[in-house]
Structure 1
Amino acid sequence: MKVLGISPLDKDSTVAIVEDGEILFAAGEERFSRTKQQDGFPQLALEAALDYTGLQMQDFDLVCYPFLTWENEQKLFHKNLEDEKTFIKGFQPADLSRQVKEALEKVPDRNQPIHGLEHPNAIMEKSFLHSSFYSMAGAQKLASNNAAFKASRQWGEAATESFKRWEQDLNNGLAENGWTKPVKRMDHHLSHAANSFLCSGFDRALCVTLDGYGSGLAGSVSEASNGKIKRLHGLPFPNSLGTLYEHVTSSLGFKPSRHEGKIVGLASYGDPSILGDILLGRIEQTPGDFRIYEANNVYFSRYLASRFPKIDVAAAYQYVLEQVACNYVRHWVQKTGIDTLVLSGGVTANVKLNQRLFEIEGVNHIFVYPNMGDGGCGTGAALYHSWPGGIKPSISSAYFGPDFPEAQLEKALQAEGLSFSRPEHLAAEVAALIHSGQVVARFDGRMEYGPRALGNRSIMYHAREPEVNQWLNKRLGRTEFMPFAPVTLYEARERCYHNIKGAEHAAEFMTITFDCTEFMRENCPAAVHVDGTARPQLISREVNPGYYEILKEYEKLSGIPSLINTSFNMHEEPIVSSPEDAVRAFLQGALDYLVMGPYLVKHPSPKH
Structure 2
Amino acid sequence: MKVLGISPLDKDATVSVVEDGEIVFAAGEERFTRNKQQDGFPRQALEKALDYTGSRMEEFEQVCYPFLTWENEAKVFNQNLADERAFIKSFKTQDLNHQVKEALSRVPDRNEPIHGLEHPNSVMEKGLLHSSYYSMAGAQRLASNNAAIKGSKHWGEEATESFKHWESVLTEGLQDFGFSGAVKRMDHHLSHAANSFYCSGFDRALCVTLDGYGTGLAGSASVAEDGKIRRLHGVKYPNSLGTLYEHVTSSLGFKPSRHEGKIVGLASYGDPSVLGDILLGRIEQMPGDFRIYEANNVYFSRYLASKFPKVDVAAAYQYALEQVAVNYVSHWVKQTGLDTLVLSGGVVANVKLNQRLFEIEGVNHIFVYPNMGDGGCASGAALYHGWPGGQRDSIGSVYFGPDYSESEMEKALGASGLSYERPNDLAQQVAQLIHDGQVVARFDGRMEYGPRALGNRSILYHAREPEVNQWLNKRLGRTEFMPFAPVTLFESRERCYHNIQGAEHAAEFMTITFDCTDFMRESCPAAVHVDGTARPQLIRREANPGYYDIVSEYEKLSGIPSLINTSFNMHEEPIVNTPEDAVRAFIKGNLDYLAIGPFLVRHPQLTS
**Residue 135 of structure 2 is aligned to residue 135 of structure 1:** yes
Displacement of 1:390 after TM fit? 1.5
**1:394-428 C-alpha deviation (Å, 9 max, x unpaired):** 00000000001111011000110111111001110
Displacement of 1:386 after TM fit? 0.4
Count of residues in Structure 1 that have an aligned counterpart in Structure 2: 608
CA distance in 1, matches of 2:225, 2:456: 33
**1:229-284 C-alpha deviation (Å, 9 max, x unpaired):** 00000000000000000000000000000000000000000000000000000000
Q: Describe how 1:223-302 pairs up with structure 2 within 5 A.
A: 223-302=223-302
Contact 1:17–1:25 (8 Å) recurs in 2 = yes
**1:43-70 C-alpha deviation (Å, 9 max, x unpaired):** 0000010010010101100000000000
- Tell me the SS of whatever aligns to 2:488: strand
Moved over 6 A (4+): none
Q: Which residue of 2 aligns with 1:321?
A: 321
CA distance in 2, matches of 1:392, 1:103: 52
CA distance in 2, matches of 1:286, 1:549: 50
Displacement of 1:607 after TM fit? 7.5
- Tell me the SS of whatever aligns to 2:372: coil
Q: Which residue of 2 aligns with 1:555?
A: 555
**1:500-538 C-alpha deviation (Å, 9 max, x unpaired):** 000000000000000000000000000000000000000
CA distance in 2, matches of 1:607, 1:127: 48
Q: Describe how 1:566-605 pairs up with structure 2 within 5 A.
A: 566-605=566-605
Q: Which residue of 1 aligns with 2:104?
A: 104
Q: Describe how 1:30-429 pairs up with structure 2 within 5 A.
A: 30-429=30-429
- Tell me the SS of whatever aligns to 1:25: strand
Displacement of 1:553 after TM fit? 0.3
CA distance in 1, matches of 2:309, 2:558: 41
CA distance in 1, matches of 2:558, 2:12: 40
Report the TM-score, using the length of structure 1 for normalisation. 1.00
Contact 1:400–1:447 (8 Å) recurs in 2 = yes
Q: Which residue of 1 aligns with 2:513?
A: 513
**1:353-395 C-alpha deviation (Å, 9 max, x unpaired):** 0000000000000000000000000000000000011110000
**1:526-555 C-alpha deviation (Å, 9 max, x unpaired):** 000000000000001100000000000000
CA distance in 1, matches of 2:565, 2:502: 23
Q: Which residue of 1 aligns with 2:479?
A: 479
Displacement of 1:606 after TM fit? 3.0
Unpaired runs of 5+ in structure 2?
none
Q: Residue type matched to 2:223 in 1?
A: E
Unpaired runs of 5+ in structure 1?
none
Q: Which residue of 1 aligns with 2:450?
A: 450
CA shift in 2, pair 1:251/1:140, >3 Å: same
Contact 1:590–1:607 (8 Å) recurs in 2 = no
Which segment drifts farther, 105-114 or 520-529? 105-114
CA distance in 2, matches of 1:561, 1:217: 42
Q: Residue type matched to 1:80 in 2?
A: N
Displacement of 1:196 after TM fit? 0.1
CA distance in 2, matches of 1:16, 1:250: 31
Contact 1:80–1:238 (8 Å) recurs in 2 = yes
CA distance in 1, matches of 2:249, 2:401: 30
Displacement of 1:108 after TM fit? 1.2
- Tell me the SS of whatever aligns to 2:139: coil
Q: Which residue of 2 aligns with 1:530?
A: 530
CA distance in 2, matches of 1:249, 1:422: 45
Contact 1:486–1:565 (8 Å) recurs in 2 = yes
- Tell me the SS of whatever aligns to 1:421: coil
Report the TM-score, using the length of structure 2 for normalisation. 1.00
Q: Which residue of 2 aligns with 1:433?
A: 433
Q: Residue type matched to 1:33 in 2?
A: T
**1:173-219 C-alpha deviation (Å, 9 max, x unpaired):** 00010001010000000000000000000000000000000000000
Q: Residue type matched to 1:227 in 2?
A: G
Q: Residue type matched to 2:257 in 1?
A: S
Identity, in percent, stands at 80
Displacement of 1:161 after TM fit? 0.5
CA distance in 2, matches of 1:59, 1:542: 32
Supply the RMSD in Å over aligned alpha carbons: 0.6
